């Protein structure tokens, strides 16, 4: 708490009221402005000004001052009892907060897409719980939009452009994509080499976000050229894991974050196609409401997750690697 006064008027007291209460309590206990100021490591003039401003704010005299001694008034005695209690509560609160910084605890509600949960976050949570054993993670695994405030969710991890500017977002990575299909599908339909080929006899698996009427558009880019694919959907899904499963079943072509299919590409279960044509990478953010930003346990999780994604070889991949 700052010990300086702005202009000396009672209108500025609110900035230093705690300091003034501490100075007043110490003067009552010691009986001397000089010794009280020394105990508080402040000049005597500062202690005197603090108490004068406190009296002006309360519109009462707290202390009788003479050249020989300082004594407390009846109003001052009553105020002292309440002030000491409040200061003790404040010290206890400060102590508990300092302890929580060293040993954070409590429940965190987070929400993350299925692919990120199963392939990145959950495999790493043992490390998080070893470091912070008293933080409980309640994880929602869904691709649907989440109302953080209405559903009392502490944070979400989502890809794409942010639309709600009232939320706080921290970019933690970029997701790079690959177009791929199963060998059985390509054997039946042939292998496309250009986005236009997808519109001639090929099927794609559609991904539709909850609340949307249409599947996400497939827009592929290369060397400044852009092509929006208009191919028929044999199936649409609203879950990332189901999207990949549909491709593995030979139902069609998908354009998917590399981390979700790298294992399948390495094993040969899926094969990259239309090489060189890609969708622009999507930013990945941790998003939380503005009223949550001072939570120590949330800040710890955000920092841990940001470091996890920064180190993740899966997330950092820019090209799919066949086995």
Tens of pLDDT along 238-295?
A: 888 899 999 999 999 999 999 999 999 999 999 999 988 888 888 999 998 876 545 7
What's the rounded Cα separation, in Å, for the pair 257 and 140? 20
As separate numbers, helices (DSSP H) first and strands (DSSP E) second, the chain gives 11, 14
What's the rounded Cα separation, in Å, for the pair 80 and 60? 13
pLDDT of residue 102: 63
Question: CA quadruple 243, 148, 284, 286: dihedral positive or negative?
Answer: negative
Q: How confident is the model at residue 99 (pLDDT cuts 50, 70, 90)?
A: low
pLDDT of residue 10: 40
| Residues 231-262 as b or e (16 or more Cβ within 10 Å = b) | bebeebbbbbbebbebbbebbbbbbbbbbbbb
Q: Domains, the chain, ranges and CATH?
A: 10-102 (1.10.10.10), 106-171+286-312 (3.40.190.10), 177-280 (3.40.190.10)
Pairing between β-strand 254-257 and β-strand 177-181 as defined by DSSP bridges? antiparallel
Q: How confident is the model at residue 311 (pLDDT cuts 50, 70, 90)?
A: confident
Q: How confident is the model at residue 5 (pLDDT cuts 50, 70, 90)?
A: very low
Contact 109, 157 (CB under 8 A): no
Q: How confident is the model at residue 182 (pLDDT cuts 50, 70, 90)?
A: very high
With H, G, I as helix, E, B as strand and everything else as coil, classify residue 211. coil
Q: Where are the beta strands (DSSP E) in the chain?
A: 63-65, 70-72, 106-112, 135-141, 155-159, 168-175, 177-181, 203-207, 218-222, 225-229, 232-237, 254-257, 271-272, 282-288
Torsion of CA 268, 274, 279, 285, to 10 degrees: 10
- pLDDT tens-digit map of 26-38: 888 888 888 888 8
Contact 270, 147 (CB under 8 A): no
| Residues 136-155 as b or e (16 or more Cβ within 10 Å = b) | ebeeebbbeebebeeeebbb
Whether residue 316 has pLDDT greater than 80:
no
Whether residue 129 has pLDDT greater than 90:
yes
- pLDDT tens-digit map of 44-67: 888 889 989 988 888 999 888 877
pLDDT of residue 9: 41
- Of 96-110, 116-130, 158-172, the poorest mean pLDDT is in 96-110
């Amino acid at each position: 708490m700052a010990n300086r006064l702005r202009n000396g008027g009672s209108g500025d007291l609110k900035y230093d009221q705690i300091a003034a209460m501490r100075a007043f309590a110490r003067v009552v206990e010691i009986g001397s402005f000089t010794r009280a100021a020394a105990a508080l490591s402040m000049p005597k003039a500062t202690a005197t000004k603090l108490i004068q401003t406190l009296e002006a704010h309360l519109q009462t005299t707290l202390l009788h001052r003479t050249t020989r001694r300082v004594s407390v008034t009846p109003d001052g005695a009553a105020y002292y009892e309440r002030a000491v209690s409040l200061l003790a509560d404040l010290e206890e609160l400060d102590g508990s907060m300092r302890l929580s910084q060293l040993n954070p605890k409590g429940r965190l509600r987070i929400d993350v897409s299925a692919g990120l949960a199963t392939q990145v976050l959950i495999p790493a949570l043992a490390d998080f719980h070893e470091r912070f054993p008293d933080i409980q993670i309640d994880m929602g695994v869904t691709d649907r939009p989440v109302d953080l405030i209405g559903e009392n969710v502490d944070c979400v991890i989502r890809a794409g452009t942010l639309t709600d500017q009232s939320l706080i977002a921290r970019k933690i990575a970029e997701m790079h994509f690959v177009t791929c299909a199963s060998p059985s599908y390509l054997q039946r339909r042939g292998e496309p080499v250009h986005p236009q080929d997808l519109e001639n006899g090929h099927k794609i698996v559609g991904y539709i976000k909850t609340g949307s009427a249409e599947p996400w558009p497939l827009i592929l880019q290369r060397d400044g050229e852009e092509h929006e694919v208009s191919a028929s959907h044999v199936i649409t899904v609203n879950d990332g894991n189901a999207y990949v499963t549909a491709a593995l079943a030979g139902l069609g072509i998908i354009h998917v974050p590399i981390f979700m299919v790298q294992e399948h590409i390495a094993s040969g279960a899926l094969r990259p196609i239309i090489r060189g044509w890609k969708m622009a990478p999507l930013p990945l953010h941790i998003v939380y409401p503005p009223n949550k930003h001072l939570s120590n346990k949330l800040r710890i999780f955000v920092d841990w997750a940001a470091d996890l994604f920064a180190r993740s070889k899966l997330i950092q991949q820019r090209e799919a690697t066949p086995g």
